[in-house]
Amino acid sequence: MVEISLRNVDFAYVKDPVLRSIDLQINKGEFVSLIGPNGSGKTTLLKLVAGLLKPTCGTVLVRGMEPGRMRKRQLARIVGFVTEDLNPIYPFQVKQIVLTGRLPYKSSFFASWDELDFQKVKEALAKVDALEYLDRYFGQLSAGEKKRVSIARILAQDTPILLFDEPTAHLDPGHAVEVLEIMKKLHDEGRTILTAFHEINFAVRLSDRIVMMKEGKIFAEGKAEKVLTKENLEQVYNTRFRLVNDPSTGLPYVIY
């Protein structure tokens, strides 16, 4: 079953399109990674699926509905978006941040939280091994801790489709691997995942399919072995690459 569909999609912020002729279908339970240089359109594509932007032409569908036209609450029960950096302007505690993930289940913005909401918040924080931060101020956490709390917020939102924008950006290897393991767990639970990755080898490790973007277009897509050729990588990133076989997975490992 197709859960996310982009057909012949163009998008322009101002005049020149930054996404052009995008055709992409993602099935339920698939893990798809977007890779490509800075500015190639990965974040913009995620924002179209998240309903934050509407296509200039073509159609974006999530479960057969247009995210840009859906009621926000209805969309937020289906799609969760972990953006690159969550930066609340007010000194919120972690529990308050994660509780906002429950807003789509409330009848109004001022409705009070109930036991179920607090239970979901605790479950979500436990899942990312961050329950101990419950009462801490979000702004005082490290980058890795913040990222885990941002993921917990989306878990409290409890959506079948998850979008991530560079989920391992600014994380040291230990924290990056923790985030990858959480993403793998979410995929194993049957959720559909679409993520942008800066680190190509992370995409290889987790994805069913890789979508390689260049200048707003899909340059190549498919399994890692097919997409990550030396020629494709060098054309897209404009630098020299070496590829070796990772003996532990049998998958390509990219060196640059």
Instruction: Name the pairing type of β-strands 31-35 and 192-196.
Output: parallel
Q: Which of 13, 74, 85, 242 binds ligand ADP (CB under 6 A)?
A: 13
Residues 160-199: x where in contact with ligand ADP by CB under 6 A, - otherwise, as a string: ------------------------------------x---
Q: Which stretch binds ligand ADP (CB under 6 A): 21-29, 42-50, 114-122, 242-250?
A: 42-50
| DSSP type of residue 112 | P
Neighbours of 200 (CB within 10 A): 24
Nearest approach, Cβ of residue 39 and ligand ADP (Å) = 4
Q: Is 41 in the site for ligand ADP (CB under 6 A)?
A: yes
Shorter beta-carbon distance to ligand ADP: residue 196 or 204: 196
Q: Which stretch binds ligand ADP (CB under 6 A): 12-20, 49-57, 85-93, 245-253?
A: 12-20
| DSSP type of residue 65 | B
Q: Which helix (H) or strand (E) holds 144?
A: helix 143-157
Instruction: Judge contact between 143 and 170, C-beta under 8 A.
Output: yes
Q: How far apart are CA 109 and CA 60, in angstroms?
A: 28
* 232 CB-contact burial (10 Å; exposed 0-12 / middle 13-18 / buried 19+): middle
Q: Which of 42, 147, 148, 209 binds ligand ADP (CB under 6 A)?
A: 42
Q: Which stretch binds ligand ADP (CB under 6 A): 36-44, 98-106, 145-153, 204-212?
A: 36-44
Nearest approach, Cβ of residue 82 and ligand ADP (Å) = 14
Q: How far apart are CA 53 and CA 22, in angstroms?
A: 15
Q: Is 39 in the site for ligand ADP (CB under 6 A)?
A: yes
Shorter beta-carbon distance to ligand ADP: residue 183 or 196: 196
Q: Which stretch binds ligand ADP (CB under 6 A): 41-49, 73-81, 173-181, 244-252?
A: 41-49
Q: Is 218 helix (H, G, I), strand (E, B) or coil?
A: strand
Burial of 45-67, coded b for 16+ CB within 10 Å and e otherwise, reads bbbbbbbebebeebebbbbeeeb
Q: How far apart are CA 109 and CA 96, in angstroms?
A: 13
Q: Is 128 in the site for ligand ADP (CB under 6 A)?
A: no
Instruction: Judge contact between 236 and 37, C-beta under 8 A.
Output: yes
Q: Is 43 in the site for ligand ADP (CB under 6 A)?
A: yes
Q: Is 38 in the site for ligand ADP (CB under 6 A)?
A: yes
What does the binding site for ligand ADP look like in residue numbers (CB under 6 A)? 13-14, 18, 36, 38-44, 196
